[in-house]
Chain A
Amino acid sequence: MSTILGLAARSAWNRRHNLVLMVIAIALSTAMLLGVERLRHQIRQGFSQSISGTDLVVGARGSPTQLMLYTVFRLGSATNNMSWNSAQRLASHPLVAWTIPMSLGDSHRGFPVLATTTDYFRHYQYGDRQPLRIADGRPGLDGIFDTVLGAEVARRLGYRLGDKIVLGHGSGLEAMGDDLKHADKPFVVTGILAPTGTPVDRTVHIGLAGMEAIHLDWQAGVPIPGMAIPAELVKKFDLTPKTVTGVLVGLKLRSRAFAVQSQIAEDQKEPLMAVLPGVALDGLWDIVGMIEKGLLLMSWMVVAVGLAGLMSSILAALGERRRELAILRAMGARPRDVLMLLVAEGVCLMLVGTIAGYLLLSGVSFLAAGWLASTFGMALPVVWPQANELPVLAAIIAAGALASLWPAFRAYRLSLSDGMTPHL
């Protein structure tokens, strides 16, 4: 037994250049599969924790998915809003602890602009009920032209506290010319948020009053000709919003969410709807999750291709090794020793390849951690294999051992029929 393993090691060392290539192939496919698996986990978790602590999302009656896209992901342009009146009635509901009104529509250099109130910074939570943290400045929107930037906005556009920024009207219309910018009323960066890995990072936050102010002299999506209200004078106008896109609601009693939800749905004054964010996010994930499943399928296929390569390499090398096996047979090695020799080599290759793959992934994670966190808000931590990854690793090793079993069995058959005289 130890004789055979010793010989297997010497033999493998003799063919190390080929074997190293095989190990690299296994390592790459392992690293890829494991990496995709980890990212998938991250994305899924990040997605379902884009928002937390919010019990209901309220908006004009329509599609719950769209309401989530607006209020959580800041995507799309809201077509029907709810009235400010309803938002205020909601805020004074006896079961409601807090509300965050949200108004969307404008953008700044591709980033969505969200008009809200300072309550946003008090009550908005993401992940495992983490509050928003301010990285620089103060988390308030009390001044009409105050703006608080998400981490990614500030980083990508290189903004600092005190910078003046001009918002564009609508989304994606900025490029169409200065006519569609609110150039007369620039905002001042008063705060920059810490990264969250959620759509908050991509958001430019302004106050609801600010949103009203820049649209005082606008109508139907264009500036009213001949009417220009300078920024200094906006305070003379009523800056209370008429409508908002949606309202995030925190309840005093979480258990009453369903009751409040149906009350809102049956509201007599306005057709409204209330969405449970967790349920709506799950619904959204079913759509987005297809990509993730495709990715997983693809990386399993990479593993399969890697193993097929392993198998064909071993099979191809078998022809050259028949002489070696015949010598061992002549020395008294049993056919099952020959089988052992090849299986041991295959299993070792898989073990080494899988471990190398894990180390490769750890190395890449370590090197790319900063970039991943800042660019995608994702963390790919350097960690021991997780409990949910062990079956994946075991599956790779098992599949590899199975793949090397076929050539080993062929070698066994060959050495039975060749005996001491291989017919090459």
Chain B
Amino acid sequence: MKDVEPVLSIQDVAFRWPGQSVPSVAMPALELRAGERVFVSGPSGSGKSTLLNLIAGVLVPQQGEIVVQHTALRKLSAAQRDRHRAEHMGIIFQQLNLLPYLSVKDNVLLGCRFSRQRRERALAQGPTIGDAAEMLLGRLNLDASLWQRPAAQLSVGQQQRVAAARALLGRPRLVLADEPTSALDADRQSAFMSLLMRECEAAGASLVFVSHDMRLASRFDMQFTMPATGEERP
């Protein structure tokens, strides 16, 4: 049974940093259904990262409504938004995604540590959450010999794939990716994109992908361009 309701819905959202007159993020409408992928582009400083922070519920817009997985973020307390994020969202950064003092596998398991629901869903991916994590790492072409290594010893490309595994473990409804390929060379970019797309689909997750690299846009169901008018963060 397919969800009719959108996984993510944004209505008339505007966000201003304190002391700014012009909103740095202004988004009239966006709807993302289960399994759909949106490409958000825009020059640097156009508020792309801020948008992800809004969707994740770390920041709260002054205006408008963001609904993730049937829940209006505005109605949640800060702590509830943090839990909501842990339960339903997986996040990949541009780089330095991993805690250097944890092993690769523990980094992948990190997302499940903050949410029981996430842990329980991970058990659907494997007999134990550790197995589920290993399976995901394997699917992302990370060799078993790397799993117990400290994350800091991996190459950037490997680290990004570990981050993807972490974002996907426990089947979140929504994956937020903030320029995850910008630190990779062209070949690896393409390989990473393919893996990410494939695994999002396998996990049934929708994807919000932020990048300034328009070459990647063609792989997505829809595209949204941030207006360049936004003021940069102070």
Q: Report which A residues bind B (CB closer than 8 A).
A: 3, 7, 10-11, 13-14, 323-324, 326-327, 329-336, 419-421, 423
Q: Given A331-B111, A335-B78, check contact A10 B58 (CB 8 Å).
A: no
B53 touches A334 (CB 8 A): no
Which residue of chain B has the shortest Cβ distance to A13 in the bound complex? B101
A251 shortest CB reach to chain B, Å: 74
Q: Given A419-B53, A420-B58, A420-B91, check contact A332 B99 (CB 8 Å).
A: no
- Beyond the given A3-B113, A335-B78, A420-B56, please list 18 additional residue pairs across the A-B interface where CB-CB is below 8 A: A7-B99, A10-B99, A11-B99, A327-B93, A327-B97, A330-B93, A331-B110, A331-B111, A332-B111, A332-B114, A332-B115, A336-B79, A419-B59, A420-B49, A420-B58, A420-B93, A420-B178, A421-B93
Interface bracket on B = 20 to 34
Interface membership of B86, Cβ < 8 A: yes
CA distance A333 to B112 in the complex (A): 11
CA distance A13 to B52 in the complex (A): 32
B59, B78, B98, B110, most chain A CB atoms within 10 A: B110
One of A14, A330, A333 near B91 (C-beta < 8 A): A330
Q: Is the interface of A mostly helix, strand, loop or mixed?
A: helix
A421 touches B99 (CB 8 A): no
One of A13, A323, A331, A334 near B113 (C-beta < 8 A): A331
Q: Which B41-77 residues have a C-beta within 8 angstroms of A?
A: 49-50, 52-53, 56, 58-59
Q: Given A333-B82, A334-B82, check contact A419 B58 (CB 8 Å).
A: yes
CA distance A329 to B110 in the complex (A): 11
A3 touches B97 (CB 8 A): no
B114 touches A333 (CB 8 A): yes
B213 shortest CB reach to chain A, Å: 18
A-side contacts of B58, CB under 8 Å: 329, 419-420
22 CB contacts below 8 A, A to B, read A3-B113, A3-B114, A7-B113, A11-B101, A14-B100, A327-B93, A327-B97, A327-B98, A329-B82, A330-B56, A331-B86, A331-B91, A333-B82, A334-B79, A336-B79, A419-B53, A420-B49, A420-B53, A420-B58, A420-B91, A421-B178, A423-B233
Which residue of chain B has the shortest Cβ distance to A326 in the bound complex? B93
Interface membership of B85, Cβ < 8 A: yes
Interface membership of B102, Cβ < 8 A: yes
CA distance A335 to B59 in the complex (A): 12
A-side contacts of B98, CB under 8 Å: 327
CA distance A331 to B113 in the complex (A): 8
A-side contacts of B93, CB under 8 Å: 326-327, 330, 420-421
Tally the A-B contacts, defined by beta carbons under 8 Å. 66
A-side contacts of B49, CB under 8 Å: 420-421
B-side contacts of A7, CB under 8 Å: 99, 113
CA distance A423 to B233 in the complex (A): 9
CA distance A10 to B106 in the complex (A): 11
B18 shortest CB reach to chain A, Å: 9
Interface membership of B149, Cβ < 8 A: no
CA distance A332 to B233 in the complex (A): 23
CA distance A334 to B77 in the complex (A): 11
A-side contacts of B97, CB under 8 Å: 327
Which residue of chain A has the shortest Cβ distance to B79 in the bound complex? A334
Interface membership of B83, Cβ < 8 A: yes
A-side contacts of B99, CB under 8 Å: 7, 10-11, 324, 327
Interface membership of B96, Cβ < 8 A: yes
CA distance A419 to B49 in the complex (A): 10
B53 touches A332 (CB 8 A): no
A404 shortest CB reach to chain B, Å: 20
Q: Given A420-B52, A420-B53, A421-B53, check contact A331 B100 (CB 8 Å).
A: no
